[in-house]
């Protein structure tokens, strides 16, 4: 044996690139030989049907997404109800899921038999939407005889950054989207401490409502944008100081958020301006850009202040390193550059580093679900070889809630100049 090993060691090893070339000459993709595990991620928790194939190194082999935004936007105009219409979302997921998964696999040039596992969002989200992704995935894992990894949508948002950057635990995460608003400390793949959350609606929901009230869908520059994006776009043309909108919860020394008050104040301003300008509800106000700028500024200040307190709390309790701690901001609203700049002011003042996934990974996608599957597979947590009794959960908190303790600490946050 010893001699054999010695003999083998004496032979020159073919280089990896020459081996790749050799394999390619047979029409074989050598990437597949060197990768370890491939996971298909499936996301249907809200209004996007998304799928992606990701490997252990974080390489994205292929992805596909079908966004329902436009359909729901058109539905809002006719129904005037606003928000996502669950049965419509369910029907669209049903119509698209097979095509989207097929597309993700075919762009990956991966055959289903090469997959190591399937990871799918099972919580939290719209019951009707989650059900479509779950039943499709369970049929697939059953056929392929591979493990299933149930995914928490918010955990997936929180860990997406680790696909791109080498971020070690613990780090702080701020998740701000259309359905969620929370601050959490991430201590491990499935170890989260919830520091604060919105007591009413999420910031994206508020921005969507304001955008709808301003009828931005009729604005020639914003007609295809989500509410939040339309507000960001229009705010660039407005003066944030034109209207004085105070940030909410100034006296509550915790890390919770609130956005309904902000929505109502803005609503009153719009009604007042409609009277002044003598225009009907549904027409575009001449001061729409100023309103957008003011509401975006107050939203940014509110989010920045609560995040600042969370950083101070974590440092006070030695939950985060004193210097070079990482704050990750993700979710659809975190793709807003004005809000990112407000957060940067906070991280600069507290010697932290702000990291934000690129906008396409901030919004819902299949990559983050597949990546969370990889994280779980690596850590050996939540990988199911038997899917009996697995259910989706429309409501599911993130981690252990210590928000009361954060409030009891009543940390005073130093005032920062928000010059953005
Ligand atoms: O994460 P996401 O795609 O879906 C969930 O809510 O889970 O976030 C969508 C939300 C919407 O409310 C949308 O208006 C908001 O994110 N959003 C933005 C921006 N882009 C999307 N809000 C502010 N500024 C943006 N640029
Ligand atoms: Zn999301």
Domain 171-356+399-409: assigned CATH number:
3.30.420.40
Going from the C-alpha of 275 to that of each of 105, 160, 168, 188, 211, the distances in angstroms are 55, 46, 54, 53, 18
Q: Whose CA is nearest to atom 16 of ligand 1?
A: 332
Report the separation in Å between the CA atom of 204 and the middle of ligand 1, taken as the mean of its atom positions.
Answer: 5
Q: Do 166 and 58 contact (CB within 8 A), yes or no?
A: no
Closest C-alpha to 44, from 364, 395, 397, 362: 364
Q: For CATH 3.30.420.40, list the domain ranges present in the chain.
A: 31-160+364-379, 171-356+399-409
Ordered strands of the 325-330 beta sheet:
352-355, 325-330, 171-176, 181-188, 191-197, 400-401
Report the separation in Å between the CA atom of 154 and the middle of ligand 2, taken as the mean of its atom positions.
Answer: 7
pLDDT of residue 274: 95
Tokens of 295: 């509401």
pLDDT of residue 90: 95
Pocket test for ligand 1, best of 226, 331, 396 (most atoms within 8 A of CB): 226
Shortest-distance atom of ligand 1 to CA 364: 3
The topology (CATH level 3) of 31-160+364-379 is Nucleotidyltransferase; domain 5 (3.30.420)
Closest C-alpha to 302, from 198, 395, 219, 374: 198
pLDDT of residue 47: 87
Report the separation in Å between the CA atom of 412 and the middle of ligand 2, taken as the mean of its atom positions.
Answer: 31
How many C-beta atoms lie closer than 10 Å to residue 43's C-beta? Answer: 30
Shortest-distance atom of ligand 1 to CA 204: 12
Q: Do 292 and 235 contact (CB within 8 A), yes or no?
A: yes
Q: Do 116 and 53 contact (CB within 8 A), yes or no?
A: no
Place of tokens 């799928």: 51
Q: Whose CA is nearest to atom 6 of ligand 1?
A: 178
What pLDDT, in 10s, does the model give residues 224-250? 899 999 999 999 999 999 999 999 999
Ordered strands of the 60-67 beta sheet:
60-67, 48-55, 38-43, 117-123, 148-152
- 409: Cα separation from own chain's centroid: 29
Report the separation in Å between the CA atom of 207 and the middle of ligand 1, taken as the mean of its atom positions.
Answer: 9
How many C-beta atoms lie closer than 10 Å to residue 13's C-beta? Answer: 9
pLDDT of residue 205: 95
Sort 268 into a burial class: Cβ within 10 Å, 0-12 / 13-18 / 19+: exposed
185 phi, psi to nearest 5 deg: -100, 125
Shortest-distance atom of ligand 1 to CA 45: 7
Counting ligands in written order, which one lies closest to the CA of residue 47?
A: 1
Counting ligands in written order, which one lies closest to the CA of residue 202?
A: 1
pLDDT of residue 84: 79
Q: List b or e across 312-324, with b for residues whose CB sees 16 or more CB atoms inside 10 angstroms.
A: bbbbeeebbeeee
What pLDDT, in 10s, does the model give residues 297-336? 999 999 999 999 999 999 999 999 999 999 999 988 998 9
Enter the DSSP assignment of 232: H
Q: Do 307 and 343 contact (CB within 8 A), yes or no?
A: yes
Report the separation in Å between the CA atom of 147 and the middle of ligand 2, taken as the mean of its atom positions.
Answer: 24
pLDDT of residue 68: 82
Counting ligands in written order, which one lies closest to the CA of residue 363?
A: 1
Counting ligands in written order, which one lies closest to the CA of residue 43?
A: 2
pLDDT of residue 10: 39
Report the separation in Å between the CA atom of 341 and the middle of ligand 1, taken as the mean of its atom positions.
Answer: 17
List residues near ligand 1 (CB under 6 A). 46, 177-179, 204-205, 207-208, 226-229, 232, 331-333, 335-336, 363-364
pLDDT of residue 73: 61
pLDDT of residue 81: 42
Sort 152 into a burial class: Cβ within 10 Å, 0-12 / 13-18 / 19+: buried
Residues of the chain with pLDDT below 70 are: 1-35, 70-83
pLDDT of residue 80: 40
Q: Do 319 and 395 contact (CB within 8 A), yes or no?
A: no
Tokens of 313: 């709390």
Shortest-distance atom of ligand 1 to CA 362: 1
Report the separation in Å between the CA atom of 175 and the middle of ligand 2, taken as the mean of its atom positions.
Answer: 9
413 phi, psi to nearest 5 deg: -100, 125
Pocket test for ligand 1, best of 89, 125, 157, 178 (most atoms within 8 A of CB): 178
Q: Whose CA is nearest to atom 8 of ligand 1?
A: 332
Q: Whose CA is nearest to atom 3 of ligand 1?
A: 363
DSSP sequence for 117-177: EEEEEEESS-HHHHHHHHHHHHHHHHHHT--EEEEEHHHHHHHTHHHHS--PSSEEEEEES
C-alpha to C-alpha distance for 359 and 232, rounded to whole angstroms: 14
Q: Do 289 and 235 contact (CB within 8 A), yes or no?
A: yes
Tokens of 166: 């080498």
C-alpha to C-alpha distance for 243 and 266, rounded to whole angstroms: 9
Counting ligands in written order, which one lies closest to the CA of residue 151?
A: 2
Report the separation in Å between the CA atom of 41 and the middle of ligand 1, taken as the mean of its atom positions.
Answer: 21
What pLDDT, in 10s, does the model give residues 26-51? 554 555 544 579 999 999 999 899 99
């Amino acid at each position: 044996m010893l001699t054999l090993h010695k003999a083998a060691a004496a032979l020159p090893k073919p280089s990896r690139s020459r081996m790749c070339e050799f394999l390619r000459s047979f029409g074989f993709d050598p990437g597949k030989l060197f990768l370890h595990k491939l996971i298909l991620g499936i996301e249907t928790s809200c209004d996007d049907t998304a799928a992606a194939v990701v490997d252990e190194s974080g390489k994205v082999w292929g992805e596909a997404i079908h966004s329902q935004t436009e359909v729901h936007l058109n539905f809002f105009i006719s129904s005037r109800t606003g928000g996502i219409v669950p049965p419509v979302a369910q029907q669209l997921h049903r119509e698209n899921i097979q095509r989207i998964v097929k597309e993700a696999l075919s762009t990956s040039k991966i055959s289903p038999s090469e997959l190591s596992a399937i990871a799918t969002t099972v919580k939290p989200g719209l019951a009707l939407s989650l059900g479509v992704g779950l039943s499709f995935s369970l049929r697939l894992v059953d056929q392929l005889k591979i493990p299933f990894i149930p995914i928490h949508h918010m955990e997936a948002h929180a860990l997406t950054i680790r696909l791109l950057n080498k971020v070690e635990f613990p780090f702080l995460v701020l998740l701000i989207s259309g359905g969620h608003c929370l601050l959490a400390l991430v201590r491990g793949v499935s170890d989260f401490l919830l520091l604060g959350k919105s007591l009413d609606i999420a910031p994206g929901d508020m921005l969507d409502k304001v955008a709808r009230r301003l009828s931005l869908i009729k604005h020639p520059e914003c007609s295809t944008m989500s509410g939040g994006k339309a507000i960001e776009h229009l705010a660039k043309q407005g003066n944030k100081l034109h209207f004085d909108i105070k940030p909410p919860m100034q006296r509550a020394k915790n890390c919770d958020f609130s956005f309904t008050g902000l929505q109502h104040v803005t609503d009153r301003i719009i009604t007042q301006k409609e009277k002044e300008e003598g225009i009907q509800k549904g027409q575009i106000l001449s001061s729409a850009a100023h309103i957008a700028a003011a509401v975006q500024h107050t939203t940014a200040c509110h989010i920045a202040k609560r995040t600042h307190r969370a950083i101070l709390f974590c440092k006070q309790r030695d939950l985060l390193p004193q210097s070079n701690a990482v704050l990750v901001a993700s979710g659809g609203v975190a793709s807003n550059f004005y809000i990112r700049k407000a957060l940067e002011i906070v991280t600069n003042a507290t010697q932290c580093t702000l990291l934000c996934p690129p906008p396409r990974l901030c919004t819902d996608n299949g990559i983050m679900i597949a990546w969370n599957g990889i994280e779980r597979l690596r850590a050996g947590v939540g990988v199911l070889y038997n899917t009996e009794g697995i259910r989706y959960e429309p409501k599911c908190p993130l981690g252990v809630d210590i928000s009361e303790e954060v409030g009891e600490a009543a940390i005073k946050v130093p005032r920062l100049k928000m010059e953005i």
